Structure 1
């Protein structure tokens, strides 16, 4: 890790050359950094060749419905948070469908809760069964006082009342099923409204705006591109002889090449080690995820990277 020590020493010399006071606090901080860095410097490291900084978090934001853009809130260079509204597709018809589905669900809910037909059929059955039982008792007490046809009709009325109960219960169940279908239709109407709102799928910076107000868009068509550089990928190559099972997960230090020689170092972790060996140079491709919350490291930078193996 000589390059880190050189970097710290270079910064110290530059400040002294420019007449900048280091100060007691900065001197103490410098001492701590040098002391901690000397531990890293004494560790065993693996140098990584041809390191290039690349994006990890980038996304093309498509339209999810067909229609014309009535609002575009994002512009190139705008910082957005996940869930922010980027643009709005015309949703007039979707709103009307939503209102209709709301009314239909309201009617279906009342029908599903209306058990009047069931209760009426049950009362009819009670009366019909009681009437049939009275005729049977009367005929038993005084034979031939009730005609056979009258008994048959009373028995048929009692059985028909039982059937009417089953019918009313079936219709009530159908009404409940229709209520569920209307609830699903309302959810679909809500979905049709939502897909016409183009939202940011991740936080970051809008770097491309490809459609504007009044233009017609179709599902899947790219409208925006958003990138985030809070974490980046440092990709490079190591000799296959240096690759071990434990290489993945090891910490790294990354220093971008800077023509002014004022580059800052960044920490990261190896997250990918290729299983393929280049037959020409015997190297293996790896990449590390690098923390870049200050945003100073840029995609496309060339850099030096060392893997701390001890």
Structure 2
């Protein structure tokens, strides 16, 4: 009898071990990102709109199924298009890769969920995991797209992220007393060498006359411009802007970037050397 029980005990132990292995392996097959923002400021060029939105996404590497839920509110009109576009980093546009417009609610505020197979042709897995596709909702007022959201999965070993880096006058050298403030979210992909960023600012004392990444310089020191993104930057006292740049090893170098030796700076006529600055620190 003891031998029988012992055998059953061994069987249950093996079952438990296999089940534990399955539970451990499953999350490795799926990557998720919730709350990805959709906004007019992510459009290229940026759109002024009160519309907002967000996306929850998950990708299963085994089934190759991309599942997403989109939420949007306060569009300027009934949607005229809804797609996944690619391949394109922040700050660039690309063609439609998955059209789901026929199924979405034709409402200015709404929600929609569906899945699409990442087939390697229309949507490529490597490009998807490297953040090179985006959602876009189009309207009559904004036929090229009113709100856009980049599909990015942050929890991957080749990606480093910093959220809410502060743009402040106090970080300028010498310090600037200003009511202007802001934040920067940055993501660096070590595989593609792509640095993506999303800037928000408010209450500048004058219209921007320059916006750049400077380096190399630690906090408390100044350095020359290495990436000028002023051309498409909104010329407003408060606003948002999304873009990306290749870390080419010449203008911007990976080691110095990861060691916090570059910074964002917004300039204007009252503060030609810069009104607010944010050090890029991961």
What TM-score, normalized by structure 2, do the two folds share?
A: 0.25
| Structure with greater helix share of residues | 1
| Structure with greater strand share of residues | 2
What TM-score, normalized by structure 1, do the two folds share?
A: 0.24
Greater gyration radius: 1
